[in-house]
Structure 1
Amino acid sequence: MNVENGVHDPHYFVPAPSRWPIVGSIALFLMGMGAAFWMNSVAPGKWILLGGFAILIWMIVGWFGDVIREAQAGDYGLQVDHSLRWGMSWFIFSEVMFFAAFFGALFYTRTISVPELGYFSHTHDLLWSNFNAVWPAATGPKVEPYHVMGAFGLPAINTALLLTSGATLTWAHWGLVEGKRSHLKIGLLATVLLGLSFLTLQAVEYHHAWTEMDLHLSSGAYGATFYLLTGFHGMHVLVGTIMLITMLGRTLKGHFTAAHHFGFEATAWYWHFVDVVWLILFVFVYWL
């Protein structure tokens, strides 16, 4: 039992048994099976994948809807609030480790693998005669020539968009704490629009890279790490934008108070994490 300011939290809320975990498991099974079938040219694979994705969306909407209704009903006391904060903290830590693995692969390739390949003289005899130990290597065995994506242009614009979105979200949070609902709504709306703008420009960038720069996933280690890092980050921006849209909808319904708004805080934590990852990505993937 916790005590804060003389107020006892009488119980730890335990939700009723839920069907959503098994629904999510079915969705992931169908998505994995459908993707495997589709990649191996089995006819119904695409439709199984789409069906699994639709079930996953249904699960997310239903499960989060239950959580929102429980929160609005006042079921979550101080102990639950602490648990939610710890849970979100560990989730973000797991995301840090996720991206650390890909940044580690990039670091290993650039600073260890490529220099070592250039150090051994038999590299030229066994791999390719025109190998040059610099990053990124624009040629290689079975790798078509490609162009490297520059830092300035769309990537720089996207950096400005994400940095601005962090500021607008902080402004919205300040408006919530200060009881200024109009600031909260405007700040959230601006953040959503900036997130959607980022995703749109990244789609334009990908189209340009794929069709005009001949930069593909098969373009050696550079192409693989470029699309893995920027692609997974873009997926996180998409998830964060959906979370922000959900927070905006809840705000318009009158949810959240200055004292109770962890759903909003958790989304803000996630969005600021996405901002920081992009800054690191921009420096080490685009700039250096």
Structure 2
Amino acid sequence: ESGTGKELIAHAIHRNSYRKNGPFIKVSCAVLAENLLESELFGHEKGAFTGANTEKRGYIALADGGTLFLDEISDMPIGCQSKLLTFLDSMKYRPLGAVKERTSKVRIISSSNQPLWEMVKTGNFREDLFFRISVVRLFIPPLRERKEDIPGIINNFLNHKKHIGAQAMKLLLSHIWPGNIRELFSTLESACICSAENETLQPEHIGLDYDKTHVYTESKKPKDEKLEIMQALKKSSNNKSLAAQFLGMSRITLWRRIKKYGIGVDENSCDETCSCHRL
């Protein structure tokens, strides 16, 4: 989903890697047209096209030795996908208008709020690129499914500049957060402004008077979700990791749903020692 903190995770990976002293560059694939995206990624030589009055280094060159974060890679045009695949296979690229190839030792992290495998099946995302970028896959559950993270996220955001009262924390924990971490950050920023000189945030400082809970309570009825889960389990031959991928949720979330709806599964395929039981 959107706003779950994908960029924060990418930053954390970068900060805790041997590339931490290198640059971290984010590129939003959703906001650039195909002709601009290629130029932005790979750069161009002077005179490569009308208006190219100077040489420009692309993001791949600028991120050399560091991390390039491709946000919403699902929105990358097919033409650019093929060029990105070529680069990932060889770590070499050619700027627009250039004769010689260049090399960049950059790590690529990509994110998507769309199911890429479904896009592959509909022809909207290259299968070969999907497998090339799927070396390590992380699924970030929505905030409503990991509320135990909320206190830590809040304290990190406030950074000791303000504190949060017990009742205010209770209010934030009870909210469903359809906008995920992005909504939480916006709410906290608003609360800090409304609290003025008060050092402790109270419920009256928190603006959650809009009602979005119907987005999730009415959009999918329990019997519909139960049926989807049963179909995914059947399709995956009771492989819960694979079924979770089909459903676009984490394995832990799937196991919670299985228990919630009382769905029968092969007990021999998963027991109390399995990681999905460690909630």
For the aligned pair, the TM-score class normalised by the smaller chain equals under 0.3
Q: TM-score, normalised by structure 1?
A: 0.25
Larger proportion of helix:
1
Q: TM-score, normalised by structure 2?
A: 0.26
